[in-house]
Protein backbone atom coordinates (compact mmCIF):
# COMPACT_ATOMS: atom_id res chain seq x y z
CA UNK A 1 0.00 0.00 0.00
CA UNK A 2 1.35 3.42 -0.98
CA UNK A 3 0.74 6.41 1.25
CA UNK A 4 0.77 9.92 -0.15
CA UNK A 5 0.99 13.16 1.79
CA UNK A 6 -1.98 15.54 1.85
CA UNK A 7 -0.06 17.92 -0.41
CA UNK A 8 0.49 15.21 -3.01
CA UNK A 9 -3.20 14.34 -2.92
CA UNK A 10 -4.18 18.01 -3.22
CA UNK A 11 -1.90 18.69 -6.21
CA UNK A 12 -3.00 15.45 -7.82
CA UNK A 13 -6.71 16.19 -7.36
CA UNK A 14 -6.43 19.93 -8.22
CA UNK A 15 -3.36 20.35 -10.39
CA UNK A 16 -2.28 23.98 -10.92
CA UNK A 17 -1.12 25.38 -14.26
CA UNK A 18 -2.33 22.53 -16.45
CA UNK A 19 -2.41 23.34 -20.15
CA UNK A 20 -0.32 24.57 -23.01
CA UNK A 21 1.21 27.93 -24.03
CA UNK A 22 0.97 28.24 -27.81
CA UNK A 23 3.64 30.96 -28.12
CA UNK A 24 5.91 29.62 -25.37
CA UNK A 25 9.47 30.94 -25.07
CA UNK A 26 10.69 27.51 -24.01
CA UNK A 27 9.34 23.97 -24.22
CA UNK A 28 10.74 20.91 -22.45
CA UNK A 29 9.58 17.38 -22.98
CA UNK A 30 10.76 14.31 -21.10
CA UNK A 31 9.65 10.71 -21.17
CA UNK A 32 10.47 8.04 -18.65
CA UNK A 33 11.61 4.95 -20.58
CA UNK A 34 10.84 2.66 -17.63
CA UNK A 35 7.19 3.50 -17.00
CA UNK A 36 6.44 5.24 -20.32
CA UNK A 37 5.10 8.39 -18.61
CA UNK A 38 5.59 11.75 -20.29
CA UNK A 39 5.71 15.40 -19.25
CA UNK A 40 5.82 18.64 -21.23
CA UNK A 41 6.49 22.09 -19.76
CA UNK A 42 5.84 25.41 -21.49
CA UNK A 43 7.29 28.65 -20.13
CA UNK A 44 6.85 32.29 -20.96
CA UNK A 45 9.75 34.49 -19.85
CA UNK A 46 9.87 38.24 -19.28
CA UNK A 47 12.77 40.21 -17.78
CA UNK A 48 14.54 36.88 -17.28
CA UNK A 49 11.73 35.64 -15.01
CA UNK A 50 9.14 32.92 -15.54
CA UNK A 51 5.95 34.92 -16.08
CA UNK A 52 3.73 32.02 -17.11
CA UNK A 53 4.05 28.27 -16.95
CA UNK A 54 1.86 25.39 -18.07
CA UNK A 55 2.31 21.66 -18.26
CA UNK A 56 0.79 18.51 -19.64
CA UNK A 57 1.53 15.25 -17.89
CA UNK A 58 0.58 11.87 -19.22
CA UNK A 59 1.50 9.84 -16.21
CA UNK A 60 0.96 8.59 -12.71
CA UNK A 61 -0.61 10.56 -9.86
CA UNK A 62 2.76 11.38 -8.31
CA UNK A 63 4.01 12.75 -11.65
CA UNK A 64 0.93 14.99 -11.91
CA UNK A 65 1.44 16.27 -8.34
CA UNK A 66 5.14 16.87 -9.05
CA UNK A 67 4.37 18.85 -12.22
CA UNK A 68 1.81 20.97 -10.42
CA UNK A 69 4.09 21.69 -7.44
CA UNK A 70 7.18 22.46 -9.53
CA UNK A 71 5.15 24.80 -11.75
CA UNK A 72 4.18 26.80 -8.65
CA UNK A 73 7.79 26.79 -7.42
CA UNK A 74 9.08 28.08 -10.77
CA UNK A 75 6.55 30.86 -11.32
CA UNK A 76 8.12 34.28 -10.71
CA UNK A 77 11.66 32.92 -10.38
CA UNK A 78 14.55 33.86 -12.69
CA UNK A 79 15.49 31.23 -15.24
CA UNK A 80 18.76 30.56 -13.39
CA UNK A 81 16.91 30.07 -10.11
CA UNK A 82 14.60 27.61 -11.88
CA UNK A 83 17.60 25.60 -13.03
CA UNK A 84 18.58 25.19 -9.38
CA UNK A 85 15.27 23.56 -8.37
CA UNK A 86 16.05 19.89 -7.83
CA UNK A 87 13.86 16.82 -7.76
CA UNK A 88 14.67 16.63 -4.08
CA UNK A 89 13.29 20.17 -3.52
CA UNK A 90 10.03 19.17 -5.20
CA UNK A 91 9.69 15.93 -3.26
CA UNK A 92 10.30 17.87 -0.01
CA UNK A 93 7.79 20.60 -0.94
CA UNK A 94 5.23 17.85 -1.47
CA UNK A 95 5.84 16.50 2.02
CA UNK A 96 7.78 13.53 0.67
CA UNK A 97 7.10 10.81 -1.88
CA UNK A 98 7.08 7.06 -1.36
CA UNK A 99 10.53 5.62 -2.28
CA UNK A 100 9.21 3.80 -5.33
CA UNK A 101 7.78 7.10 -6.62
CA UNK A 102 10.89 9.25 -6.24
CA UNK A 103 11.80 8.78 -9.90
CA UNK A 104 8.57 10.64 -10.78
CA UNK A 105 10.05 13.81 -9.27
CA UNK A 106 13.12 13.48 -11.54
CA UNK A 107 10.81 13.71 -14.50
CA UNK A 108 9.41 17.08 -13.32
CA UNK A 109 12.77 18.72 -12.65
CA UNK A 110 14.23 17.39 -15.92
CA UNK A 111 11.32 18.57 -18.08
CA UNK A 112 11.30 22.01 -16.46
CA UNK A 113 15.08 22.41 -16.84
CA UNK A 114 14.77 21.37 -20.48
CA UNK A 115 12.20 24.13 -21.07
CA UNK A 116 14.62 26.68 -19.59
CA UNK A 117 17.47 25.36 -21.72
CA UNK A 118 15.22 25.62 -24.76
CA UNK A 119 14.46 29.25 -23.85
CA UNK A 120 18.17 30.04 -23.45
CA UNK A 121 18.97 28.47 -26.83
CA UNK A 122 16.30 30.51 -28.58
CA UNK A 123 17.61 33.66 -26.94
CA UNK A 124 21.20 33.10 -28.09
CA UNK A 125 20.43 32.62 -31.80
FE1 LIG B 1 6.15 7.01 -14.21
FE2 LIG B 1 5.52 8.09 -11.97
S3 LIG B 1 5.32 6.00 -12.50
S4 LIG B 1 6.43 9.03 -13.62
Residue in 8, 57, 63, 97 to alter for ligand 1 test, most ligand atoms within 8 A of Cβ: 63
Model confidence at 123: pLDDT above 70: no
Closest CA to 57 of 89, 96, 28: 28
Strand partners, 49: 46, 78
Q: What length is written for the chain?
A: 125
d(CA 87, ligand 1 centre) in Å:
13
Q: In this predicted structure, what is the pLDDT of residue 73?
A: 98
Q: Are 39 and 55 in contact (CB under 8 A)?
A: yes
**Is 35 among the catalytic positions?**
yes
**Is 60 among the catalytic positions?**
no
Residue range 2-23, pLDDT digits in tens: 689 999 999 999 999 999 999 9
Catalytic residue among 2, 13, 35, 122: 35
Residue 34: Cβ within 10 Å count: 7
pTM summary value: 0.92
List, in order, residues 6 or more apart from 1 with CB less than 8 Å away. Answer: none
Q: All domains of the chain, ordered by start, with CATH? A: 6-120 (3.90.1010.10)
Amino acid sequence: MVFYSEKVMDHFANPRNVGEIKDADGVGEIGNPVCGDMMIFYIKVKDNKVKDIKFKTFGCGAAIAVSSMISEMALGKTVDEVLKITNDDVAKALGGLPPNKLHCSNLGADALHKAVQDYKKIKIF
